[in-house]
Amino acid sequence: MVGDGAPSDGGIPNGARLIRFATAVLGDEPEELAAARDDIAAAMGGAALTDTAAVAALFNAIDRVADATGIPLEDVKAEATADFRAGIGIDDFAAASEKGHGA
Amino acid sequence: MTDISYQDLAWPVREDITAAHRRTWERLGQPGTWLTGGERVAIAHEARAAMDCRLCRARKEALSPNAVQGSHDHGAHRAAQLSELEVEQIHRIRTDPGRLSRAWYEGLADGGMIEERYVETVGVIANVVAMDTFTHALGLDPWPLPEVRSGEPSRARPAAARRQMAWVPTLAPEDAIGTVDGELYAGRASAAHIYQAMSLVPDAVTGFFDLVVNQYLPPQAMRDFDNEYRAINHAQIELVAGRVSALNQCVY
């Protein structure tokens, strides 16, 4: 549900906590990862922690499938997301020119 | 045999995740479509070794990965069955996926890369990354790689696969209807591009999506916003997914 979280959460409950954990999972600071993990477990519960870890891990893998095969974004998704992709900088990613919409 | 279990962990892991991880590890050691079990496990070893590779680290820090030349570091495990070309493929996909390019892919092809082996290798790497990142996130050591099972790859290529939307040849859903590969799309005439990405090797798709539906969501749950299926809700799931993809600079 979007809209219930504090402003720092981006409008998503515990959003800042989840962003911190996802960032730490891909980072290389073990202490920060442990702290982010404990924070989620304490605030959201152990099941939320392991489900969050599962999603972060899966997308760390699925990104590689997309990037290594060179699939483009579907037309309908590209059109629906054009505004915010430009706005948040996705179009500036290194691969955007050859793997983005219409590549 | 690796006994995958999360029962001793301080936090509960859904049984469907554990079961999917067990199936993934069992498949990893078996002969695939274009790779032997030994090659698949060697690829998994190499994907892990890439994380400590000095060349990969230097390339990652460079403005362009092409600006840094050298040889990849590998562990003592390195199997003779992996060529330098395959080692380059594995290391780049594991360590710097956001800057892979069509020119890089075509360079591998010019060097003798076999596309069917390439696609199956992508699948092996994806499986290992999904499970290794999960254990890392929860403070666990990675699981020991599975035992190698003997046998020969089936070498079955979908007859209707062709180069179309991606760098790699793919099997379009509409082209699969009525063929022996039709069950990949369950008779549907369309599918998300990410599902089609590895369709040159259908078993790579079905194997990886065993993890997708259990670590993320089954297809019917993705857009069912009236119900929640996990301990975090749809918005929270997509926030985490989006953050990871942004860090990986994934355009898709």
Sign of torsion over alpha carbons B217, B222, B224, B226: positive
Say if CB A25 and CB B240 are below 8 A apart. no
Flag whether B2 is in a domain. Answer: no
Flag whether B195 is in a domain. Answer: no
What b/e string do you get for B35-73 counting C-beta neighbours within 10 Å, with b at 16 or more? bbbbbbbbbbbbbbbbeebebbbebeeeeebeeeeeebb
- Structure token pair of residue B162: 């062709």
Flag whether B240 is in a domain. Answer: no
> What residues contact residue A16 under an 8 Å CB cut-off, 6+ apart?
A6, A8, A9, A10
CB contact under 8 A, B138 and A49: yes
Count the domains in chain B: 1
Q: Please choose, from the candidates B234, A48, B214, the residue with its C-alpha nearest in 3D space to the C-alpha of residue A21.
A: A48
Domain spans of chain A?
A: 1-70, 72-103
User: Which letter does DSSP use for residue B231 in this model?
Assistant: S
Say if CB B169 and CB A26 are below 8 A apart. no
Question: Whole domain around residue B140: which residue ranges?
Answer: 15-153
Flag whether B243 is in a domain. Answer: no
Q: Residue B237: helix, strand or coil by DSSP?
A: helix
The Cα diameter of chain A in Å comes to: 45
Residues 146-205 of B with CB under 8 A from A: 165-168, 170, 192-194, 196-198
Residues 50-79 of A with CB under 8 A from B: 50-74
- Per CB-CB distance under 8 Å, the chain A contacts of B229 are none
Q: How far does Cα A42 stand from its chain's mean position? A: 21
Q: Which residue in A has a C-alpha nearest to residue B215's C-alpha?
A: A54
**What is the pLDDT tens value at each position of chain B, 252 positions in all?**
789 999 999 999 999 999 999 999 999 999 999 999 999 999 999 999 999 999 999 999 999 998 899 999 886 666 668 999 999 999 999 999 999 999 999 999 999 999 999 999 999 999 999 999 999 999 999 999 999 999 999 999 999 999 999 999 999 999 999 999 999 999 899 999 999 999 999 999 999 999 999 999 999 999 999 999 999 999 999 999 999 999 999 888
Surface-to-core class of residue B171, CB atoms within 10 Å of its CB (0-12 exposed, 13-18 middle, 19+ buried): buried
CB contact under 8 A, B215 and A13: no
